Structure 1
Amino acid sequence: MPAITSGRVLVTGANGYAATWILKELLERGFIVRGTTRSESKAAFVRDLLKSFGDRLELVVIPDARKEGAHDDALKDVDAILHVASPTILNPKHPDDDVRPAIQSTLSLLQSAFKHRDTVKRVVITSSVVALAPLADPGDAPKVIDESSWNDVAVQHVREKGKDSDPHMGYPASKTLSEREAWAFWTRGNEKLGGKLDWDLVTLVPPFILGPIINDITTTEQLNGPVQYFWSAVAKGAYQHDKDALVRKGYQFIDVRDFARAQVESLLKEEARGQRLIVTGHEFVWQQFIDIARKYTDKIPPGHPEAYDPSKVVLPIRYDDEKSRKILDVQYRPIEDTVRDTIEDYKYKGWL
């Protein structure tokens, strides 16, 4: 299908950390945006946050996105879908607590998209680098991972161990299986229609998503995932007594605003159709973030700046995003901008 340059875009989980930035980016680019939330109170917050865009922002409440047909009405007159929502289960007792909601909510959405294939032209699903490969073990040789890789290790682990699984394996398995189910659904749909399914599929695969917060998080206790890691490692000095964790272990991240731009570009670029795209902005170590943050506040623990040597940083896994850089052409903002804006956001919220 051709690129989507105008029209109505559905964004799932509209009150989420990344989704609020995506809504803003879409609206600023002139799209009509229909966001889904699980409750009216969450919809009210988003409506107030983006009230300057008037009636180009529409919000609908879907209490349970896992149910068949849950998205049928929400997809009326929609040109494209950005599936950003990801069910979060606190303290799961079984890996199925992560896996089943992720698969069910994705398939429910795709089933509704299939019903609306006369209007929907593209579906973009947010995956994660945890769907590419398991985390490297200490001592493993560094490796480069591209879009051809899948985290079958996590899937096999939860299938074999069940309730005795490592609690950290449920989420990677859920992201791996839900993305694979999406591609399988798309393939079956094309086969059923003789290769003429009227919408195409894209998956975006980000690492840590970091940066300032504009959704309804008002306390540090509400932080989770990568933004919670940033708060703990940088603002609270969680690794003050673990020099190696601060100065040697490298990771990759994308600024949440650049991720929002990548989402929109995945609609605008015709070449994105049918692609699985890793989107990473920069490599980093926590000490690098700390050194930048301390320029903007004296409330950040110092870590071990004397031990930080960029030439000795070990990145156990490097995610190769060459394809997305070529297709999406997103210009990633400097690391300093992400850290500075995050710290200024913390100060504005009264956290520092």
Structure 2
Amino acid sequence: MPSITSGRVLVTGANGYAATWILKELLERGFQVRGTIRSESKAAFVRNTFKSFGDKLELVVIPDATKDGAHDDAVKGVDAILHVASPTNLNPTDPDDVIPPAIQSTVSLLQSALKHRDTIKRIVLTSSVVALAPLAGPDDEPKVIDETMWNDAAVEHVREKGKDSNPRMVYPASKTLAEREAWEFWKRENEKLGGKLGWDLVTLVPPFILGPILNDITKTEQLNGPIQYFYFAVAKGIYQDDENALVRSGYQYIDVRDFAKAQVESLLKEEAGGQRLIVTGHEFVWQQFIDVARKYTDKIPRGRPEAYDPAKVVFQIKYNSEKSRRILGVQYRSIEETVKDTIEDYKIKGWL
């Protein structure tokens, strides 16, 4: 499919942490944007945040995104779709609370897109690196992960254990199954139509998404996922007695603003069509974040800077993002900028 350089883009879960930054990026680049939200009560903050763009932003209420036809009206007349919304419960007590909604909401959206394939040119689905491989433990052998890999281990675990599943395996299973279903849906429907489905598919596969908050999170109790990890690991110092967590185990992240750019670039770049793209910014250990944060506030614990030695950091998993860097060309912010801006955001919110 050709690149999408103008027109109307649908963004699902428009009031979410990453989605609000995506709205901003799209609007600033001149796109018309339609966002989906669960209730009208979620709309006021989004409208106020982007009021300077006037009628370039519209919001559509979809109370239950898992229902057949739920997205029919939302997809009418759009040129592209960025499917960002997904259940993010990382410690569920029941897999059925996470996995079926993740799959069904994706399928509902794709079925609606199928009905309007005359206008839609591209759909970009947000997946996660947990759909690539199981979470690694400190004793696992280091390995490099690329876009050809799938977290079948998490899926099999949940199928075997059901409600007795390890909660840490449920979210990875949901992301794996939802992304796989999207690719299978596209392949199946495209074959039925003799290769003339009309829209192509891209999946973006990020690690931790971190950075300042643009949406209506005002209390730390509202944090979840990676931004919750950042707050407790850096601002609250929960790893003060865990040297391995602070200075030995390495992770990867992408700044939420760079992730928003990657979303838009995946529309602009023709060669992104049909690709699964790992989008990672930088490798880190928590002590690096703490050391930078303490330049801008003295209200957080110091960690163990004397124990931090970059040469001794162990990355059980490294995600190879070479393909996305080549295709999308996103320039990633430094660790210094991400942490500084996040800490300044915390100060404004009264969290520090």
1:134-283 mapped onto 2 (5 Å cutoff): 134-283=134-283
Report SS of the residue matched to 2:93.
coil
Deviations 1:156-201 (A, max 9, x none): 0000011111111111000000000000000011111001110000
Residue identity matched to 2:43: A
The answer (yes or no) to whether the contact 1:143–1:317 under 8 Å persists in 2 is yes
Residue identity matched to 2:13: G
Report SS of the residue matched to 2:125.
strand
Matches of 2:2 and 2:55 in 1, distance apart?
Answer: 26
Matches of 2:210 and 2:90 in 1, distance apart?
Answer: 21
Report SS of the residue matched to 1:10.
strand
Match of 1:19 in 2: 19
Deviations 1:57-112 (A, max 9, x none): 01010000000000000111100000000124486332122110000000000000
Matches of 1:27 and 1:233 in 2, distance apart?
Answer: 33
The answer (yes or no) to whether the contact 1:95–1:169 under 8 Å persists in 2 is no
Shift of 1:331: 0.3
Residue identity matched to 2:47: R
Report SS of the residue matched to 1:60.
strand
Structure 2 alignment gaps of length 5 or more:
none
Report SS of the residue matched to 2:181.
helix
Shift of 1:300: 1.2
Matches of 1:199 and 1:206 in 2, distance apart?
Answer: 23
Report SS of the residue matched to 1:239.
coil
Matches of 1:91 and 1:145 in 2, distance apart?
Answer: 24
TM-score, length-normalised on structure 1? 0.99
Structure 1 alignment gaps of length 5 or more:
none
Matches of 2:138 and 2:250 in 1, distance apart?
Answer: 13
Shift of 1:142: 0.6
Identical-residue share of aligned pairs (%)? 82
Aligned residue-pair number: 352
Report SS of the residue matched to 1:169.
helix
TM-score, length-normalised on structure 2? 0.99
Residue identity matched to 1:104: Q
Matches of 1:323 and 1:244 in 2, distance apart?
Answer: 31
Matches of 2:136 and 2:179 in 1, distance apart?
Answer: 21
Report SS of the residue matched to 1:150.
coil
Matches of 1:93 and 1:234 in 2, distance apart?
Answer: 27
Report SS of the residue matched to 2:297.
coil
Matches of 2:89 and 2:252 in 1, distance apart?
Answer: 25
Residue identity matched to 1:9: V
Change (3 A) 1:209 1:91: closer
Residue identity matched to 1:46: V
Matches of 1:286 and 1:319 in 2, distance apart?
Answer: 18
Matches of 2:92 and 2:258 in 1, distance apart?
Answer: 31
Deviations 1:253-304 (A, max 9, x none): 0000000000000000000000000000000000000000000000010000
Match of 2:44 in 1: 44
RMSD of aligned Cα (Å): 0.8
Matches of 1:287 and 1:90 in 2, distance apart?
Answer: 23
Whether 1:332 aligns to 2:332 is: yes
1:67-106 mapped onto 2 (5 Å cutoff): 67-89=67-89, 92-106=92-106
Shift of 1:137: 2.5
The answer (yes or no) to whether the contact 1:209–1:253 under 8 Å persists in 2 is yes
Change (3 A) 1:91 1:333: closer
Matches of 1:301 and 1:315 in 2, distance apart?
Answer: 24
